[in-house]
Amino acid sequence: MELNDCASYYTGLPARLLEYIADETSDSLYYQELARAARDPRTRELLLEFARDEAGHATNFRQSYRQITGMEAPLQKLQPPQVPDYCEAIKERIIAESGDLVKYGEESVCAPERELKDLFYLTSLVEGKHGLRLTTMLCGVR
């Protein structure tokens, strides 16, 4: 979402929420799979924590979808994640998480009501936290 699209915020929100539900669910599955390749128990636990966070984001977006549309979000068929080599996967996730930080931050800025602002702001913070912690996995620092 571009900041200049704020005027028509609600027009595309249900479709964006469905996209976010799919993305966050997919990310959760990705982290679960990546945790299997973790190099140590602490990294594995962090990746599983990320998986839980992403699943929680999807749940929050489902609740918002229901509140806005009055309907349950349709279940989406997702492909199993294709996780590349461990180091490459970490690099890809750093880019993805930083993109989500910006995406949800922009949603927070544009959202016209406090509940949505808070939802997207808090989601963006968690995505930023994931990105930062992933860099420590790449460098081998814990």
Radius of gyration (C-alpha) of the chain in whole angstroms: 16
Question: pLDDT by residue (tens digit) across 78-112?
Answer: 888 889 999 999 999 999 999 999 999 999 999 99
What is the spatial distance between Cα 23 and Cα 78, in angstroms, rounded to a whole number? Answer: 9
Is the pLDDT at 3 greater than 60? The verdict is: no
pLDDT digits (tens, 9 = 90+) for 37-84: 998 999 999 999 999 999 999 999 999 999 999 999 998 888 888 899
CA distance 46 to 22: 22
DSSP-derived secondary structure for 53-95: HHHHHHHHHHHHHHHHHSSPPPP---PPP----HHHHHHHHHH
